[in-house]
Homo-oligomer: A and B are copies of this chain.
Amino acid sequence: MTSPAGLAGPACPMPSAETERVLLGHGSGGQLMTELLTDVITAELGTGEPLEDAAVVGVGGVDTVFTTDGFVVTPRFFPGGDIGSLAVHGTINDLAMRGAIPVALSLAYIIEEGLPIAELRRITRSAAAAAAAAGVEIATGDTKVVGRGAADGLYVTTTGIGLRPEGARPSAAGGRPGDVVVLSGPIGLHGTAILSAREGLGFEAEIASDSRPLHRLVAAMLAAGGTGVHTLRDPTRGGLASALNELASASGTGIEITEADVPVPRPVAAACELLGLDPMHVANEGCLLGLLAPESARDVLRAMRALPEGVDATVIGEVTDGPAGRVSARTLIGSTRIVDVLIGEQLPRIC
Q: Which residues of A contact B (CB under 8 A)?
A: 17-27, 33, 36-37, 40-41, 43-47, 51-55, 57-64, 66-72, 103-104, 106-118, 120-121, 124-125, 127-128, 132, 137-147, 149-152, 155, 157, 159, 161, 163, 348-349, 351
Provide the bound-state CA to CA distance between A47 and B132, in Å: 12
Does B23 contact A143, Cβ atoms closer than 8 Å? Answer: no
Question: A20 near B139 (CB under 8 angstroms)?
Answer: no
Name the 4 nearest CB pairs between A and B, nearest first. A27-B145, A68-B106, A159-B159, A60-B62
A181 to chain B, nearest CB (A): 26
A-B contact pairs, 29 of them (CB 8 A): A20-B116, A21-B114, A22-B116, A26-B145, A27-B111, A27-B143, A27-B146, A40-B121, A41-B120, A44-B125, A45-B127, A45-B141, A57-B104, A57-B161, A59-B104, A60-B163, A64-B161, A66-B104, A68-B108, A68-B140, A70-B108, A70-B109, A70-B110, A70-B144, A72-B144, A106-B159, A110-B155, A146-B349, A150-B151
* Chain B residues within an 8 Å CB radius of A351: 144
Establish whether residues B118 and A52, one from each chain, have CB atoms under 8 Å apart when the complex forms. no
- Is the beta-carbon distance between B57 and A22 smaller than 8 angstroms? no
B-side contacts of A139, CB under 8 Å: 51, 55, 57, 66
Question: Do B69 and A142 touch across chains, with their CB atoms under 8 A apart?
Answer: yes
Is there contact, CB below 8 Å, between A41 and B124?
A: yes
Given contacts A52-B140, A140-B51, A155-B155, contact A145 B66 (CB under 8 A): no
Known: A41-B120, A45-B128, A110-B157. 4 other contacts (CB 8 A): A24-B147, A40-B120, A59-B103, A60-B63
| Bound Cα distance A67, B138 (Å) | 11
Q: B residues within 8 A CB of A120?
A: 22, 40-41
- Distance of A135 from chain B, by nearest CB (Å): 14
CB distance from A16 to the nearest CB of B (A): 10
Bound: A107/B50 CA distance, A:
13
Whether A21 pairs with B72 at a CB distance below 8 angstroms is: no
CA–CA, A22 and B109, complex, Å: 12
Give Cα distance in the complex from A304 to B128, angstroms: 41
Residue from B108, B112, B117, B142 in contact with A20 in the complex, judged by beta carbons closer than 8 Å: B117
Closest B residue to A68 by CB, please name it.
B106
Q: Is the CB of B72 within 8 A of A116?
A: no
Q: Determine how close the nearest CB of chain B comes to the CB of A55; give it in whole angstroms.
A: 4
* A47 CB contacts on chain B under 8 angstroms: 138
- Interface residue from B18, B110, B113 paired with A24 (Cβ < 8 Å): B113
> Across the interface, which residues of B come within 8 angstroms of A137, CB to CB?
57
Residues of B with C-beta under 8 A to A117: 17, 20-22, 36, 40
CB pair A53–B115 under 8 Å, yes or no, is: no
* Docked pose: A24 CA to B148 CA in angstroms: 9
Q: Whose C-beta in chain B lies nearest to the C-beta of A23?
A: B113
Contact present for A67 and B140 (CB under 8 Å): yes
How far apart are the CA atoms of A118 and B21 in the complex, in Å? 8
Question: Contacts A120-B22, A143-B27 hold; do A157 and B108 have CB atoms under 8 A apart?
Answer: yes
In the complex the two chains form, is A115's CB within 8 Å of B66's CB? no
Chain B, Cβ-Cβ closest to A148 = B24
Name which residue of chain B comes closest to A151, CB basis.
B151
Verify A140–B60 contact, CB threshold 8 A. Answer: no
Contact A115 B21 (CB under 8 A): yes
Report how far A8 CA is from B138 CA in the complex, Å: 47
